[in-house]
Structure 1
Amino acid sequence: MKKLLLSLSILLGTSYLASAQLIPNAQFGLKAGVNLSSFSTNSTFSSDKRAGYLGGVYARIGGLGFNFQPELYVTGKNLTIKDGTNENKAKFTSLDVPLLLGTKVGAFGFGGRFYAGPLVSFNINEDQSLGQGLSDAVTFKDYKKQNFAAVVGAGVDIRDFSVDLRYEAGLTKQKYNDGNSSIRVSLFTLSVAYKLFSL
Structure 2
Amino acid sequence: MKNKRPFVALLLCCLFSVTSSFAQTKGFAFGVKGGVNLSKLSMGNLLTTRYDNNGNPYLNYNGQEVRDNIQESIDSRTGFAGGVYARFGKHFFVQPEVLLSTKGGTFDIIRNDGDLSTRQQVNVKFSSIDVPLLFGLKGGPFRINAGPMASFRVGDNQKLKDAFHQYTSGSLNDALSEAVYGYQLGAGLDIFGISLDVRREGTFTDLATFKVNNQVIGSNSSTVRQKLTSWQVTLGIKLI
**TM-score, L = length of structure 2:** 0.59
Structure 2 residue corresponding to 1:93, chosen from 110, 127, 139: 127
* Structure ID, larger Rg: 2
* 3-state SS of 2:44 partner: coil
**TM-score, L = length of structure 1:** 0.70
Q: Identity percentage over the alignment?
A: 36
Contact 2:154-2:178 within 8 A present in 1 as well: no
Question: What is the CA–CA distance in structure 2 between the aligned matches of 1:176 and 1:41, rounded to whole Å?
Answer: 10
Letter in 1 for 2:106: T
Deviations 1:75-109 (A, max 9, x none): 00022221220111111110000000001011xxx
Partner of 2:138: 104
Partner of 1:125: 155
Letter in 2 for 1:35: N
Question: What is the CA–CA distance in structure 2 between the aligned matches of 1:189 and 1:164, rounded to whole Å?
Answer: 8
Greater percentage in strand: 1
Question: What is the CA–CA distance in structure 1 between the aligned matches of 2:154 and 2:225, rounded to whole Å?
Answer: 16
Deviates more, 1:85-94 or 1:114-123: 85-94
Question: What is the CA–CA distance in structure 1 between the aligned matches of 2:38 and 2:148, rounded to whole Å?
Answer: 19
Letter in 2 for 1:188: W
The equivalences for 1:42-53 within 5 A come to 42-44=44-46, 45-47=71-73, 48-53=75-80
Partner of 1:116: 146
Question: What is the CA–CA distance in structure 1 between the aligned matches of 2:236 and 2:41, rounded to whole Å?
Answer: 26
* 3-state SS of 2:239 partner: strand
Partner of 1:35: 37
Runs of 4+ in structure 1 deviating by more than 4 angstroms, as ranges, are: none
Letter in 2 for 1:78: G
Letter in 2 for 1:62: G
Contact 2:33-2:82 within 8 A present in 1 as well: yes
Question: What is the CA–CA distance in structure 2 between the aligned matches of 1:176 and 1:55, rounded to whole Å?
Answer: 28
Deviations 1:141-162 (A, max 9, x none): xxx9510111110000011100
Letter in 2 for 1:124: V
Greater percentage in helix: 1
The equivalences for 1:158-173 within 5 A come to 158-173=191-206
Gaps of 5+ in 1: 1-22, 127-143
